[in-house]
Structure 1
Amino acid sequence: MSAPRLGLRFGQAFRQNFQNQMRFAQRRYQSTATTADAAGQSAFGRFFNSPIGPKTVHFWAPIMKWGLVLAGASDFARPASSLSLTQNAALMCTGAIWTRWCFIIKPQNLFLASVNFLLFCVGATQVTRVMRYQSELKGQTLGENMAEKAQEGKAKVGELVEDPGKIKEVVGGK
């Protein structure tokens, strides 16, 4: 067998393999339901096969995130003295940031956006409760207490910028 003929066979085999892979990739990224199929399906069938249906992570992520919302809401029964300001502030910020991102990512997932918005609401409610409790202890208004907390945070950041070795000391580690 001559060298050019060997190269031709190799090229044909490579091209055929490449075309098969491309057909697989096209099938992989196609929608699970075509428009002709969607017209004949029930509402549940369209939901089940949609890009944000139960076959995808876009459905199960919000279901799991409801656990955070319910855990935060269950803390409404706890006294404000036993709540963590940093934990609830983190919940509030997470909810706000991810609510915005739910409208940017594709496919837009309103179910996930609603969960994140409620996570923000729960966190904001708990932060308000903690801040009111702390301001009552000090005899301050809520605005004064918030300004004081902001100054404390600014001072801690300033200390860390000056000497990064103090991180355990500033954050409260041992």
Structure 2
Amino acid sequence: MIDFWGPVANWGLPLAALGDFATKDPEFISGPMTCALIIYSSVFMRFAWRVQPRNMLLLACHATNFSAQNLQLVRFVNHNYLKKE
């Protein structure tokens, strides 16, 4: 049963990031946490690809999270460093 619920629960990270992208103000984005999640997803994408048999569900989850966190990082940089007042 863990083999199913672990990956399903892991989808909470990218879904939360995508939800924040649609509804939250970029003022609340944590730059260090976003960078940590990008690194975390990069490591686990590599793991999911290298393990035999390949874990495509885990790879898809972390690829989605990697993309969503990069979008959040762009929002963070635009808001904190590039925004003209």
TM-score (norm 2): 0.85
Shift of 1:107: 2.1
Residue 131 of structure 1 corresponds to 77
Deviating runs (4+, > 3 A) in structure 1?
Answer: none
Residue 15 of structure 2 corresponds to 70
1: distance between equivalents of 2:2 and 2:82?
A: 47
Shift of 1:60: 2.8
8 Å Cα contact 1:61/1:112 also seen in 2: no
Residue 80 of structure 1 corresponds to 26
User: Which is richer in helix?
Assistant: 2
Alignment pair present for 1:90 and 2:33 = no
Residue 118 of structure 1 corresponds to 64
Q: What amino acid sits opposite 1:128 in the alignment? A: V
Q: Secondary structure at the match of 2:11?
A: helix
2: distance between equivalents of 1:56 and 1:107?
A: 17
Shift of 1:124: 0.6
Q: CA RMSD in A?
A: 1.6
2: distance between equivalents of 1:83 and 1:132?
A: 11
User: Which 5+ residue runs of structure 1 have no aligned equivalent?
Assistant: 1-54, 140-174
Shift of 1:136: 2.4
Bigger relative contact order, structure 1 or 2, given CA contacts below 8 A and separation 6+? Answer: 2
Bigger Rg, which one: 1
User: Which 5+ residue runs of structure 2 have no aligned equivalent?
Assistant: none
Number of aligned residue pairs: 83
1: distance between equivalents of 2:44 and 2:57?
A: 12
Residue 29 of structure 1 corresponds to none
Residue 54 of structure 2 corresponds to 108
Shift of 1:91: 1.5
- The 1:56–1:80 alpha-carbon spacing in structure 2 relative to 1, beyond 3 Å, is closer
2: distance between equivalents of 1:125 and 1:119?
A: 10
Alignment pair present for 1:99 and 2:48 = no
